[in-house]
Amino acid sequence: MKRSDRGAGDAAAVVLIHGAWHGAWCWQRVADALAAAGVSAVAVDLPGHGDSSEPLGDLHADADLVTSVLDSLDRPAVLVGHSYGGAVITDAGRHPAVAHLVYISALALDEGESCVNAASAEAAATGLSHEGRPDLGAGFVPGDDGTVTIDPHVARECFYHDCDPATADWAVGKLGPQRLTSLQQEPREVAWRHRSSTYVVCANDQASHPGLQRLLARRCTSSLEWPTGHSPFLSRPGQVVGLLLGLAFGRRLPSTIDHRRDLPSFPGFEEPRRRGPHIRESTGVNPIRPARGAGPVQPP
């Protein structure tokens, strides 16, 4: 873990938790921009992902690592989870350092739920249709060791369909295996019942049904909706940064009481130029084993 104390004194830290098959590398554009704005950012490689040299963990091991990161902070934190990372922050997010939870197209699990059956009763009752949508499960490639990888063509279609081609190529090449058991476990705690929270629905998501996201958003204190695919940290990093800057500096979202209307997003922070997604130690970002040698994502 590399740490910087250059964050603004009155700003919360932002801790960024990636989803399944990903690593801290996916948050690079967001982490760089947060650091440039004076916010201390921690992009975490969960065990076995990205540059982590640890063996792959399950949901509870992943949450335990996040807890250890939160233990090390000297200020309150905005804890952000994407996709599967939502299950991780649900388990770890009751930590006393956590001031606010952010779920980005994420699994805000309840007691007794796992990633594979989140809000299943509610989804069945509303008759969510997957007709005409890509099938992420069709891209699962099981290994003999209990892991699952994703077919590259399915990954591109489901995760990065609204990213520029060079970014999508780079991201697909960085994906790794995920332990199947991590998607089948239930959280030990349900943090969104005890912390204020924001849910971001990605309305053009091809991996996680937007209708399911809207059901999960009902569990959070506030919600908003973006017209993005599954990975706005790559396709629209300025939108993500604008939201997180507001929360880090204590700007409050209004509560979405009936969850039937979209809330205006925070103004987007100026998006960084499309450059190689690497974490520079001089930016003030606090990554866990930052990605190295990723190379440029700008088309030649």
Task: Find the CATH number of the domain harbouring 249.
Answer: 3.40.50.1820
Tell whether 69 is covered by a domain: yes
Tell whether 4 is covered by a domain: no
The confidence band for 261, taking pLDDT boundaries of 50, 70 and 90, is very low
Q: What is the pLDDT of residue 120?
A: 85
Give the chain's mean pLDDT. Answer: 84
Range name among 21-35, 76-90, 265-279 with the lowest pLDDT average: 265-279
Tell whether 123 is covered by a domain: no
Q: Which domain holds residue 229?
A: 13-112+183-283
pTM over the 0.75 mark: yes
Tell whether 244 is covered by a domain: yes
Residue recorded with tokens 């959280």: 187
Tell whether 22 is covered by a domain: yes
Q: What is the pLDDT of residue 7?
A: 55
Specify the number of domains making up the chain: 1
Q: What is the pLDDT of residue 65?
A: 98
Tell whether 79 is covered by a domain: yes
Assess whether pLDDT exceeds 70 at residue 147.
yes
- Side chain identity at residue 46, one-letter code: L
The confidence band for 8, taking pLDDT boundaries of 50, 70 and 90, is low
Neighbours of 231 (CB within 10 A): 29
Token duo for residue 170: 């780079």
Tell whether 127 is covered by a domain: no
Tell whether 151 is covered by a domain: no
For 90-108, give the DSSP string: HHHTTSTTEEEEEEES---
Assess whether pLDDT exceeds 50 at residue 285.
no
Q: What is the pLDDT of residue 273?
A: 36
Q: What is the mean pLDDT of residues 234-257?
A: 82
